[in-house]
Structures are given as C-alpha cells and as structure tokens.
A and B are shown apart, each in its own frame.
Chain A
Amino acid sequence: MIRINCPWCGERNMVEFTYGGDANNVYPGLSEETSEKQYFEYTYLRDNPCGPHLEYWHHVNGCRQWIKVKRDTLTHEVIATVPADKPVGEKE
C-alpha cells in the first residue's frame, strides 16, 4: 500500500488517490497551429520506464488537487511530490 505525500495535505494512503497517467506528457495546447500529430502523440504515445517516472495523481478523496508524483516503477518508492502545475526538480 503506497503512501503519497500530498503537497497540500501531507502523507496519505494511496486509497485516497486516483492515478492520472504520465506527467511527462505535455498538453499540445488548443490552437490551430497544433498539428494532428502532436495531439496524436499526446493522446496515445507513452514511455514505459523501469525506474523513476513522473506521473499525475488526483487526491480525489482528500483536497481534490491534482499533483505530480515522481515514483519508481520498480520499487514503488515515492521520490518527490509537487502541485501539478509546478516542476519537479530537473526534467525527467
């Protein structure tokens, strides 16, 4: 049972959260200049790393804030957590 340190609420059990996918994925922006390929890649293409991974979690049964969690997919170690609109250390 993973514990996640919500930047707003503190350390909480994972049952309070839902998983929201890859946070390295940058939204292409709603603009006519954005190509179909960019939307396609945003929607479908994901890395599947073994090791540290940046991902979105939603504190859905808590403060309802989306946060970024840097988690090791091999060990489940939670390395860092920040509000979703903030960067986590260096670029993943």
Chain B
Amino acid sequence: MATQSNRLPGGGEIDRGKPLTFRFDDKTYTGFQGDTLASALLANNVKLVGRSFKYHRPRGVFSAGPEEPNALVHLRSGDRQEPNTRATMIELYDGLIAESQNRGKSLRNDPQRINNLFKAFLPAGFYYKTFMGPFRNTRLWMFIEGFIRKSAGMGAASGLPDPDHYDQMSRHCEILVIGGGPAGLMAAKSAAANGARVILVDDRADPGGQLRYEQYEIDGKKGLDWINETVAGLEAMDNVFILRRTTAFGYYDHNFIGCVERVCDHLPEPEGNKPRQRVWNLQAGHVVLATGSHEQPMVFGNNDLPGIMLAGAVRTYVNQYGVVPGKRAVVFTSCDDAYRTAIALHDAGTTVVALVDTRKLDSSYAQQLLDRKIRIINDSAIVSAQGNADGVTSVEVHSLSGGGAQRLDCDLVAMSNGWAPALHLFSQSGGKTAWDADRNIFVPGDSKQAECSVGAANGNFSLKTCLEEGSAAGAMAASSTGFNTAVQAVPAVSEIHESAYEPLWECPDPAKGHPKKFVDHQDDVAVSDIQLAYREGYISVEHLKRYTTLGMGTDQGKTSNVPGLAIMAEARGCSIPEAGHTTFRPPYTPVSMGALGGAETGEHYMPIRRTAIDSWHEEQGCKWIDAGIWRRPRYYPQSGETIRDAFIRETGMTRGSVGMCDVTTLGKIDLQGPDTAEFLERIYINHWMKLPVGKARYGMMLREDGIAYDDGVTSRMSENHFVMTTTTANAVKVMANLEFYLQVIWPELRVQVTSVTEQWSAIAVAGPNSRKVIQKIVDIDVSNEAFPFMGASGCVAAGIPGCRLFRISFSGELAFEINVPCDYARYVCEKIYEAGREFDIVPYGTETLGNMRIEKGHVAGPELDGRTTADDLGLGMMMSKKKEFVGKRLAYRDSMTGENRKKFVGFVPADGKTPLKAGAQIVVNENAAPPVEMIGHVTSTGYCVEHDHPIGLGLIRGGLDAWKDRVVYMSYPLRNIIVPMKVVSPVFVDPEGERLHG
C-alpha cells in the first residue's frame, strides 16, 4: 500500500486519527477523514489521473472545486458506477473505488496517446470537415467514424438499473442565500436576525468557503473558528435552514431556484431509507448570490501537464487538506493572490523555486516573500513547460520585455491569472453582466429579478468587503421582504490591501517550437484552435464555442471561457466586452437524471387510474391496456386464445346472447340549474330544450373552428338536472371547456357543472338477452313499452338504491348501461355476472367494444381526429338549422363543406379475407407511379363476426356518393402492401336498427 508521501505532519481540516482506504484504478491507497478524492490522490503523489478528450494527453488534478476540468473519474462500481464525477468534489469514504476514464486498459500506457502525435490533423472542426471531404458517406468513413467516436470521450454509464432512489422537495423562504462563504454567512446572519425565513445553500460538507483554506483572522480568532461560531448561531435559529452538500444549479423565473443535495454521495451507499440525492425546488422573496469566483489559469505551452494547477487550489490542498502537491514549486501569477500560495507552500516546507509575476509592480506581499528568501521574477512569464505523464519537470521563463530566458526545474506549477466572479446564477436570472475595465473582470450588471450579488460574486474579493456586502445585503433583503432592516456589525479582519491585477491572457511562444497552449483542458481546445476558428470566420463567441467546443464540457468552461473570449478579442482586435461571453445556461454543474426524475420512476412514473371494478377484471384474467392513465380490460383470453380469437369470441357471444363491459372511464359530468337545457342547446349541435325527463340523447360538440370535438350521450334526469357523458380521452378537456363557457362567456347562465366520473361506475350490458339479465337486477320495468330505446331512469340495482339505468347502445345491440355509486360497483358487477350466467354472459374488453362499434359504424377517436366535421362523419343532419351553437358558423365555411371533403365510409377487402390496416392511405390506381394521389385513409379496422370477413372504416374524398360499391386500393407502401377493397356503408350490422329498438 502506498504511503501518503505528500501529507504534512500537521495542519489542515483532516482527521489523521481516521485513516480511510480507497482504490484508484488497480492500486490501493489511504487518505483521511475530511479528504476529497483529489486531495487523497495528491497526498499519495498520484499526479496522472486521466487522459484528455481528444489527444489523450496525460492530465492531473487542476483545481480544488466544482470547476475541475481534468480529474473526472468513474466513481463506485457495478450498478452504482457513476461516470464523469469530479475528484475534487468527492468526499473520501472508506472503501471508495474510482477508475480513470477515456483510456485503454492502462492509464499510463494508454495506446490512444498516439493521437497526440497526430494533433496537427485533429484541429477544431475536424469532425465537421470529415463530413464534407472526398470520403463523406463512404464505407471507409463510416468504419473510421466508429473509432473516432470511441477514442473521443468521457466516462460510460453502468448500463444497469440504479439501485438507489431519489427525492424532490419544495420549500419557500423570504431570503435564499446561495454560497456559505464569508459574504453568504454574513448575509444569512443579517437577514435571519431581522426575523426573515432564511435558507442557506452551500455545496460543501460544511460552509465557510475561502475561510476554510485562507489564513485570515476575524475578530481576533482564526477564520475557521469564526465560521463554526457563525454556523452554530444560524443553526440555533428556528427561521434558518441550512442545506449542506447542495448545489444551486439553476435560476429560473420568479426567483425559483433548482438545487441538488448530495444526501448520501459521501457514503459508500445510502444509509437507511435516505435518497442518494434530493432536488430542492426553492422559491424565495429575495435571493442573495454569494457564489464566489473561479480562479483563471495561465495559457502557456504544455500548460496541461500534471502538476500544473491553479494557485488557489494548491493553497487549498496545503492549508485545508495538509497536502503539498510537489517538492519544488514555481508560482506564476498576474495578481497578488498567488503570493499567498507561495507563502503557504514555503511555510509547509516546499521549496518555492521562484514566483514569476507578469507585472512590473511590487506586490503588497513582496516583502513577505523576500523575508522567506523566495525569488520574485517580475515582468516575466512561463512560456512553456516540459514533462511527461508523471508531471511537469521544468518550465521555461521569458521576460515579457524581451530576452532573459531561463529554465527552472520544478515538479509543481501554481498559476493564477486572477479570479472571475461566478456569474452563472446571476446571468440565468436574466441579469446582464457588465465589464469592469478597471478590474478586468465581468461583474453583475442590472438585476432582472429580486436578487443581489455580494462578495467575490460581485467582483469584490477582499474579506472585509465580503463581510460588509453580506451584512448589508442581508439587511436589505429582509427589509424588501417586509422585515426589519438592522445591519449586523462587521467583525474586524486581518488582511493586506492587494495591488492591482493585470491579466495576461496568452503567454508568448517559447524561442523554439510551438507547444500547444491549452485554453479548455477538458475539451482539448488550444489557442491555435481559437485562431483557426477566427481565420475560418467563426468569430462570434457563440460560433467559437460551437466550432471548437470551447466551454462545452461538463465543466461548462468555468476556467476557459474568459481566456478563450479574451484570445478571440485579441485576434479580432476588439475589446473583451465587444467580443462578449456566451450565455450561461443551467445547470451550473452536472445534475444526474435520477435526481431530476426524483421518485417518479418505474411504477411511480405515472399514477394508475383504476375503475372500482378493477379487481374483478383481474380475477377474470383480463389483459390490460392503458387508456390515458386509466387501465382498462382489453380482452379476457381463455386458455390458448390470441387477442384475435378472444375478441371474435367475445363479439360473437355478445351479439348471440349477452355481454358486459366496464365503461366507467367515459367522462361523466353532472349539470344542474334552470338554464341547463339552454346551455346544452348552445354547446351541442342538436336540440335539447324539448328532451323529456327520463330520456337520453346522443349529442355532438364542435370546436369554435367548426371541427367535430366530442360526442356522448346526455340524459335528462329531472327538469333542471342533466347527466352528460364524454369520450374517455376528452373527459378532462370537455369539463374545462364547459367551465370556460359558463364562467367567462355566459356567466349569466345559471348552471353548475361537476365532474362525477370518479363517483359513478358504469357497466354496459349488451346483447339480445340483456333485457332478461337487467330485469333480474333492477326494480323498474324494463320492457320495451315501459323503458324504450333512449330511456333513462333512477333505479335500485341489486338492492343498491340510487343507481341509474340508461337504454343506450354503442354495440348496436339491445343494450343497457347501469350507473352505480362506485363504492357498490364491484358488488353490482358480480350480481350482473351471476344473473347473466344462465345466458352465458361474457365480460368483454376494449378490443370487443371497439370491434362492435366499428361493425355498427359509430365514430370514435380515430375518426374524431381534429380534421373532420360533423358532416364528414355522416352526422350533418344533426346540425340544427334553427339555432346558433358553438362552431356552427365556421362549420359551414366553404372549405369545410362541399364535394371534396373526405367523408366517412366503410370498407370490405375485395377478397373478403385480407385484413385492413388503420392508417393506410387510399389510392385509385393499383399501379400508379409516385407521386400517387391519396384520396383518403383507413381510420379503424375490425372483423365482422356475423359476415365473417375483415372490415374497415375510413374517410374518402366524396364519400359514399362518389364511391359506393366501387373498388379502391388500400396502400401501405412501407410494407409494400396494396389491397383492393370495396367502399360500402359504414354500418355492417343491423342497418335498420331493429335490434336497438327491439
């Protein structure tokens, strides 16, 4: 087992009393409680952690936070394997298993590192260009493309079902503080003290931000002690809620913030019943953005070698984790910040070979370095680094004023090109960023939503300003949400006033050679790629991004967008704000699909809507089908039956004797009030005023544009009480529509509508023996004389009072529909089945229901397709000439009438055998060459049991008038099927309607 050779004997926030064992690739290492995977790897002097996207160059840990572009690993194994996790954000636990990505069998001897030798042939736009060259669309190219896809890439998903569960929660507050650094903590403290409900979100195990790795004193105490006190104080308050290990990933409208909490990611597997991750949907009166900033890298030759890291990250590893990532360090900077890294490294015992400063000025920290005998090389830059997969070995330094080249041996480069405020959430909120020319950074401009930025996120990096801005923002936010406005006193801090930052966006080339200067480490985008994009005309930053993939990785360019656009601005000869930056889009860091899905997976993906008779169908052995979210019996197979066998048997037995079907899913709307008949008169195409009590009537509604909308039977239960049925599919829409007409258009109508679909179960009993069965069940006389076709009556059914009976038929047979309060539905269903046993009653499902309506030529969903008019469907006669109704006028438009409309007809295959296909087109000529004129299409197909042949319904131009008894062709070119068929009346059984009325 390797030892932690880079670990300091003391210091840092790790617990040396709690060693943890972990595995990276094929080796086992130890780390300590409090480590991240990255800090533990560095403690064990593991420099090579991955291979780059395109060239498979060796890469090491680059940062210490969410911006990490390089150290992406497969975390865990088996079904818990997670790709592309950032080693800098993974808290170490005992037994952790991680593997490097985008490599061959071995990370060190990755065969694809050969790509690096061909880098001249793999420039920006390489992939696009291959689509256009002489090899495009060739087999050779398709063959090669497979290899390219395989060699360029990231981690792989496990391909196994995720064993863990995820959760979603919502919470509201007056003030949401995002970021638990000094500014955020101060804002939370200030807001909470004024009584507002505060949520503080921080992406680490514990808040503190920079104070966890900087060596400041606050109020005469160590920074860390001040944090612990402040956090403890906040936690003790009832109005404060702290979310740890939580990343705010998206800022949406109305101060809605999406966050993901990594509840159990720091454990081998979730403990107890906890979810692995939880998405928080937070909505706040005011948002304080204390999101901090990201350090920007230097762009010089071979700046991607392992051992070249951000200076702030190096300081973090030394101070927070007690790890020195190298023995001999060169610090390279354009700002004062990195001087503190030099001091931290020196004080930890590392040799700091030199600090290379691009500026001519003397830093405020210069004296501290001189005291430590650290050499400062001003007005100079690293122009290239040398090294191998084991890391950097030396750097070449040039004076920026010319000459003065020198080589410095080192195994660690800590670089800083200043800090860029993390504007992601601000920008997502709709706020516009502004360029601060004095400080050379983009800062938040005008706000669009109720939010403000504080501290480093606002471009103010000094600790004192962070605390002051936090305190003021917290008080202001409290005041703006209706609370007091007291400002918390800002504690005194020890801090040096830093001298100005002077960025150097691109270092000069070395005297010899042009080593690649990487801008986007994750996507292998170098300065030369940006220059190529410029030469080829992709000069807008948005084009630059898409052409070179700059900033398109999982890190979304947190350390590459600013240098990239600055280099493009240089090439264009324009200023940085003129070049602008690309749009910040959610998510800030990657969010797992599992977390977004939450608990809505598997059987919970959609609720199952069951009728009250569901369990009975199950016992009868039905096969189910989804109808929206309802589940309905499709057919009831007997042993060995196919679906076709089953529906033909069910149809035959129903038409031969009696069948029963659960039709609960039809929409049922209760309408009451003195103006109900008038209301129905307006929304249906036919008449309702004179419908007698105790009678049902078929009705059709149109949309405002005159297209057929929905149909169903509506019955008059008493003078002012009607019960409407709608199709299953449109039940919800029709209800909302009726409410719209009553509430918005005709509020003067005294009608109350209530959806009662759930309250009533409905069972259809159909067939020549249905009357005999029903008479055994209900207490009313159901003879043809007493209860003729379209009768509607209250009744007692199987001893259950308050039921309703309708003599309506969808099958064309003598039929009844019985409505039962749903609590008694299963009981009544069983009684009907018992009563029908002597007649061999058969339960039938949607397949038979559909087949019988096709045999009878009733229209349904496939015909009510949003393009047909009532007249097209053969129901034009129903449209009243004597009244106005919804959709009437537009239904009579020229384009909606006339001979060329496609009209409803029936089809029979000419050979009487070949099944028809719904959706197939209808053509006139069997052998016509394309393009073939299509004169209609088949909408529904079934099998006429009585006449023993396949049938179809459909729409054909001109309808029966033009085509009756003529032969047309059903064309299904995808399968090369063409079937001659005869156009017939759509009513295949009992065309006179004798059975209905019998």
Contacts and interface: CB of A to CB of B under 8 A. Distances in A.
Interface string A69-81: 0000001100000
Interface in A1-32: 1-3, 13, 18, 20, 27, 30-32
Nearest to B744: A84
B483 interface: no
B885 interface: yes
Given A2-B253, A3-B254, A84-B744, A31 B890 contact: no
B682 to A, nearest CB: 6
Given A30-B884, A64-B739, A66-B739, A1 B254 contact: yes
Contact of A30 (B682, B743, B744): B682
B889 interface: yes
Contacts of A84: 743-744
B744 A36 contact: no
Contacts of A1: 252-254, 256, 281, 283
Interface in B250-266: 252-254, 256
Contact of B745 (A27, A39, A40): A27
Contact of B884 (A2, A31, A76): A31
B135 interface: no
Nearest to A35: B889
A58 B740 contact: yes
B736 A60 contact: yes
B736 A76 contact: no
Contacts of B705: 43-44
Q: How large is the interface on A (under 10, 10 to 19, 20 to 34, 35 or more residues)?
A: 20 to 34
Given A1-B252, A30-B885, A36-B890, A58 B739 contact: yes
Given A34-B889, A39-B890, A85 B256 contact: no
Contact of A39 (B252, B254, B256, B704): B704
Contacts of B885: 30
B744 A66 contact: yes
B800 interface: no
B125 interface: no
Given A27-B745, A30-B682, A66 B740 contact: yes
A27 B523 CA distance: 57
B890 A40 contact: yes
A14 B763 CA distance: 37
Contact of A85 (B739, B747, B884, B890): B747
A36 B889 contact: yes
B794 interface: no
Contact of A18 (B252, B682, B736, B886): B736
Contacts of A27: 744-745
Interface string B857-894: 00000000000000000000000000011101110010
Contact of B253 (A64, A66, A76): A76
Nearest to A36: B889
A56 B682 contact: no
A36 to B, nearest CB: 5
Given A20-B740, A66-B740, A66-B744, A2 B254 contact: yes
B535 interface: no
B448 interface: yes
Interface in B694-748: 704-705, 736, 739-740, 743-745, 747
A85 B743 contact: yes
Nearest to A38: B889
Interface string B252-294: 1110100000000000000000000000010100000000000
A60 B739 CA distance: 10
Interface string A37-49: 0011011100000
A56 B740 CA distance: 9
Contacts of B281: 1
Given A1-B254, A56-B744, A75 B704 contact: no
A10 to B, nearest CB: 13
A32 B705 CA distance: 17
Contact of A66 (B283, B682, B704, B743): B743
B736 A39 contact: no
A39 B889 contact: yes
B673 interface: no
A81 B744 CA distance: 14
B430 interface: yes
A85 B283 contact: no
A77 B885 CA distance: 37
Contacts of A34: 884, 889
A64 B754 CA distance: 10
A23 B745 CA distance: 11
B886 A30 contact: yes
A75 B739 contact: no
A50 to B, nearest CB: 15
Contacts of B889: 34, 36, 39
B744 A85 contact: yes
A30 B893 CA distance: 16
A43 B707 CA distance: 12
Residue from B252, B736, B743 whose CB has the most chain A CB atoms within 10 Å: B743
Contacts of A30: 682, 884-886, 888
16 contacts: A1-B252, A1-B253, A3-B254, A30-B682, A30-B885, A32-B884, A36-B889, A36-B890, A39-B704, A42-B704, A43-B890, A56-B744, A60-B736, A66-B744, A75-B448, A85-B743
Interface of A: 1-3, 13, 18, 20, 27, 30-32, 34, 36, 39-40, 42-44, 56, 58, 60, 64-66, 75-76, 84-85
Q: Which 5 pairs between the two chains have the least Cβ-Cβ distance?
A: A1-B256, A30-B884, A76-B253, A84-B744, A85-B747
